[in-house]
Amino acid sequence: METNSGRRLVVVGNGMVGQHFVEALRERDVDRHWQVTVFGEEPRQAYDRVALSSYFDGASPQSLDLVASGCYDGHGYRLHLDEAVIAVDRAARTVTTSHGRTVGYDALVLATGSAAFVPPVPGADLPGCFVYRTLDDLEAIHAAARRARTRVGLVVGGGLLGLEAARALRLLGLAVHVVEMAPRLMPLQVDEGGGALLRRLVEELGVTVHLGTFAAAVTEAAPDQAAPRLVTLGDGTELPVDLVVFAAGVRPRDQLARDAGLAVGARGGVVVDAGCRTADAAVHAIGECACIDGTVYGLVAPGYAMGSVLADRLAGGNAEFRAADTATKLKLLGVDVASFGDALATTDGALEVTVNDPVAGSYAKLVVSDDATTLLGGVLVGDASRYAALRPLVGRPLPGDPLAMLAPRGDGAGGGPVGALPADAMVCSCHAVTREAIDTAIAGSGLTTVAEVKECTKAGTGCGSCVPLLSTLLTESGVTVDKALCEHFDHSRAELFDLVRVERIATFSELVDRYGRGRGCDVCKPVVASILASLGNGHILDGEQAALQDTNDAFLANIQRNGTYSVVPRIPGGEITPEKLIAIGTVARDFDLYTKITGGQRIDLLGARLEQLPAIWRRLVDAGFESGHAYGKALRTVKSCVGSTWCRYGVQDSLALAIALELRYRGIRSPHKIKAAVSGCARECAEARGKDIGVIATENGWNLYVGGNGGFRPRHADLLLADVDTETLVRTIDRFIVFYVRTADRLQRTSSWVESLSTGPGGEQVDGLDYLRSVLVDDALGIAAELDAAIERHVGGYEDEWAAVLADPARLSRFVSFVNAPDTPDPTITFVTERGQPRPVLLGLPVAGTPAAAVPAAAVPATGVAVGIPTR
């Protein structure tokens, strides 16, 4: 294409695709042949709509901004915000804007995107009805939720956008109904099996799903009704709600093209060819407003691909748009969902390989060719860790047995058959980055971190689903991967621990100001919170530390799937007096809590509402209990058998030792949870070899085992010391725990930490256990005295976290469900009775033999109560 200097290019729309096109053109048009003018009708410049829902997680509009500094320099590139293009004159080659301006063009790009589709439902335009499309929409929804009276919202649409909207309403503290016409959720992405599991997982999170029906009408309720409006479904069901969100899909915004006489597709969208050009050679269309080969794509990756194609064409190239990658990976309401390739097996003769594990809550399916040699697509629900490695293999020969490829890893690495990826496999479909491009960048530019790969290649900067694969490719390229904790710190967790310890840094702000950058994230904040707690930096809910904690630590209790919390008092060694046992029973009875004895010899009380926690703690603390730290990355339990006191086989007093160890290490914060056990003989009734720290009695003393764990990948602990006396045993455990706390990576269990000690600093193989013995017993590093002193400081400074909250009104003020109605229970929490105990309502179905009236009245707010703003 001829490109004379100073040619005028007008871009209509400053969304994600329009902005991507502008940046792609800047890269290619180095001699500035084009003078670019962009019009955006929103008052904000381009922002990340894919991450729109993070607004309800606390993300600011500024953090979603996609426009790089200097992109619009006022000379060759100009951006006009809050100014829509309202007409196109193709004959004169001009556009007219809402500000009355007329601007000429030599080339015009329509990047107008799409608009939310609102079904023709009577009453859909009433106050309290919203769409879920822009930041302004989200701010309006947020404001309406603050005014809600009955705390109930309804979402029309059970696809990707609908479930995103449902999550947003749940985060705002509303009970949520989702209405979907199809027989399953996400009907365009997942099959029947995946949809069934997705519905189960979503409903277990407190969302009521209505399938195979539709919203027939929205009406204003009578003045004496608690809810301001009523939604009537197609099956006659009437639902009183505060607000309605329409998230039933999108429609291409093609009215400009229609008014200008350009062709549009049968289902809308500006008709363009493979070069994104309309029948008018001067007019182009990209993104959700464009129709290529009869298809309109509603995902960002195809839009980015169109933008890149058009930028190449305008810079003199001949790129063409090819088949789009419509793969999707999202976390919807906390549930991982992924779909790629021919997920619904529409190809003739396609075979399906399915692994459905309802117990683990995961569903996985691969679609393969009729000869089982080629991967065609797949669906993953519940566990999508294989997505990053499987998606690039679509259309290629299977690298192994399909069933084995679906086996979950359980380590979150998102790994898979990476070595089988050919050079031209598309790793990042958002920015069309192949494995070859990434490997070349790693080797040619000496990249050592995922952040550097993202900056150099743009891979991982779109939807982010390929980020786990980037880390794997770095490792497979022979690179020693930088162990930076996150983008805000170049240091590892162990390095940060030493910086905080040596320089006596007391706050996250001080640490990030001196050794990091930015404001932190959900990776580094909890890590630093744990480090500060490990070093005895005050109560975890004091001052700035409170904002750093994970949800469980923030409320000193484990949050459950229905929004309630569990309370687990410490019962050292499993030993409990009758009086304390009775106290727990009366607490459970009086607060109507579900009660279960755990595998760690404790009693779990489940179903407590947030505002009930302090009252429950008060009863338990008064009875002599303290926090069991079941919510923290800390010592959980020291399990025990009855030992030589009672058992005829016992050779040592295992129960007394277990109690002493649990009281010694209670509350110590660590990179991951720590479990321990003491068995009184080799019969191993306490299962000590499955624990991080295991002690087994012998005729001559104690054997110490370290680095074991249960969980998804069980590991037997290794024998560190044999036949040692109690003093040596305890001293070695002291040092083991502190050394682990100081040197392990974020969320690294002792099992993988011990295994990592088998690799020396130069990559050579060493005996990890021998190394541990040299450090902990022989003091090879000269730090034994430091380790001993650290434990003594912990023991001397221990304070029960529950009791400390009860003694401080400022800390107590955090424990309310709604900040402007502290005594009002969360109306979204409901129970039924099963086997004589309360349990959360699941799937919206009653349990056989359970009366409908089993839902406690306390779970339902009084009519007209303005509950207000949730605290979590």
Q: Specify the higher pLDDT residue, 62 or 580.
A: 580
Q: Is 724 exposed, middle or buried (0-12, 13-18, 19+ CB in 10 A)?
A: buried
**Rounded Cα–Cα distance for residues 482 and 459 (Å):** 18
Q: What is the pLDDT of residues 210-219, one digit of tens each?
A: 999 999 999 9
Q: Which two tokens stand for residue 578?
A: 């009758």
Asked if domains 129-248 and 634-797 share a fold, the reply is: no
Q: Which helix (H) or strand (E) holds 196?
A: helix 192-204
Terminal-to-terminal C-alpha distance of the chain: 56
Fold type of domain 129-248: FAD/NAD(P)-binding domain (3.50.50)
Q: Specify the higher pLDDT residue, 450 or 350.
A: 350
Q: Which two tokens stand for residue 374?
A: 């080629």
Using alpha carbons, select from 279, 259, 315, 246 the residue that is nearest to residue 12: 259
Q: Which two tokens stand for residue 78?
A: 């100009």
CA-CA-CA-CA torsion sign (728, 731, 733, 739): negative
Using alpha carbons, select from 432, 526, 431, 425 the residue that is nearest to residue 472: 425
What is the pLDDT confidence band of residue 412, given thresholds at 50, 70 and 90? Answer: very low
CB 244 within 8 A of CB 130: yes
Q: Specify the higher pLDDT residue, 331 or 286.
A: 286
Q: What is the pLDDT of residues 671-706, one digit of tens each?
A: 999 999 999 999 999 999 999 999 999 999 999 999
Give the per-residue pLDDT at 481.
62
Maximum CA extent, the chain:
101
Domain extent listing, the chain: 7-115+252-314, 129-248, 493-549, 634-797
CB 1 within 8 A of CB 33: no
Pairing, β 565-567 against β 603-608: antiparallel
Q: Which two tokens stand for residue 340?
A: 């790629």
* Average pLDDT value for residue range 87-94: 96
Could you tell me the CA-to-CA distances from 473 to 267, 302, 444, 492, 621 in Å, in that order? 41, 24, 14, 20, 52
Q: Specify the higher pLDDT residue, 603 or 768.
A: 603
What is the pLDDT confidence band of residue 415, given thresholds at 50, 70 and 90? Answer: very low
CA-CA-CA-CA torsion sign (353, 357, 360, 362): positive
Determine which of 640-649, 663-672, 812-821, 849-858 has the lowest per-residue pLDDT on average.
849-858
- Tokens 């969302």, located at residue: 207
Which backbone phi and psi does 391 adopt, to 5 degrees?
-55, -45
849: left (phi over 0), alpha (psi -120 to 50) or beta: left
Could you tell me the CA-to-CA distances from 357 to 284, 361, 363 in Å, in that order? 48, 6, 6
**Rounded Cα–Cα distance for residues 43 and 191 (Å):** 40
Q: What is the pLDDT of residues 469-517, one digit of tens each?
A: 787 788 777 776 667 888 789 888 888 999 998 889 999 989 999 999 8
* Average pLDDT value for residue range 800-825: 79
**Rounded Cα–Cα distance for residues 546 and 507 (Å):** 11
CB 697 within 8 A of CB 679: yes
Chain centroid to CA 342: how far?
Answer: 26
Q: Specify the higher pLDDT residue, 470 or 141.
A: 141
* Average pLDDT value for residue range 251-273: 95
Give the per-residue pLDDT at 420.
62
Could you tell me the CA-to-CA distances from 868 to 114, 144, 149, 171 in Å, in that order? 33, 10, 8, 13
**Rounded Cα–Cα distance for residues 831 and 592 (Å):** 10
Neighbouring C-alpha atoms within 13 Å toward the C-beta of 752: 13
Q: Which two tokens stand for residue 604?
A: 């779990």
Q: What is the mean pLDDT of the chain?
A: 85
Using alpha carbons, select from 682, 713, 712, 686 the residue that is nearest to residue 700: 682
Which backbone phi and psi does 133 adopt, to 5 degrees?
-135, -40
**Rounded Cα–Cα distance for residues 219 and 197 (Å):** 33
Eight-class DSSP state of 124: T
- Tokens 């008014």, located at residue: 259
Q: Looking at the domain that runs over 7-115+252-314, which CATH code has it been given?
A: 3.50.50.60
Q: How many residues are recorded in the chain?
A: 872
With vertex at residue 746, the alpha carbon angle to CA 745 and CA 751, rounded to the nearest 5 degrees, is: 60
Give the DSSP per-residue string, 531-573: HHHHTT-S-TTSGGGGGGS-HHHHHTSEEPTTS-EEE-B--GG
Could you tell me the CA-to-CA distances from 493 to 65, 627, 698, 699 in Å, in that order? 29, 26, 37, 41
CB 326 within 8 A of CB 302: yes
Using alpha carbons, select from 47, 72, 43 the residue that is nearest to residue 60: 47
Predicted model pTM: 0.59
At residue 731, what is the residue type?
R
Give the per-residue pLDDT at 865.
31
The 3-state DSSP class for residue 735 equals helix
Give the per-residue pLDDT at 3.
39
Domain 634-797 has CATH 3.30.413.10: yes
With vertex at residue 464, the alpha carbon angle to CA 459 and CA 466, rounded to the nearest 5 degrees, is: 65
Q: Specify the higher pLDDT residue, 687 or 829.
A: 687
Give the per-residue pLDDT at 861.
31
* Average pLDDT value for residue range 794-802: 93
Using alpha carbons, select from 210, 251, 290 the residue that is nearest to residue 119: 251
User: Which residues are known binding-site members?
Assistant: 641, 647, 681, 685
% the chain with pLDDT above 70 = 89
**Rounded Cα–Cα distance for residues 444 and 294 (Å):** 41
User: Which residues are known binding-site members for [4Fe-4S] cluster?
Assistant: 641, 647, 681, 685
CB 438 within 8 A of CB 470: yes
User: Which residues are known binding-site members for siroheme?
Assistant: 685
What contacts 856, CB < 8 A, 6 or more positions away?
Answer: 592, 830, 831, 838
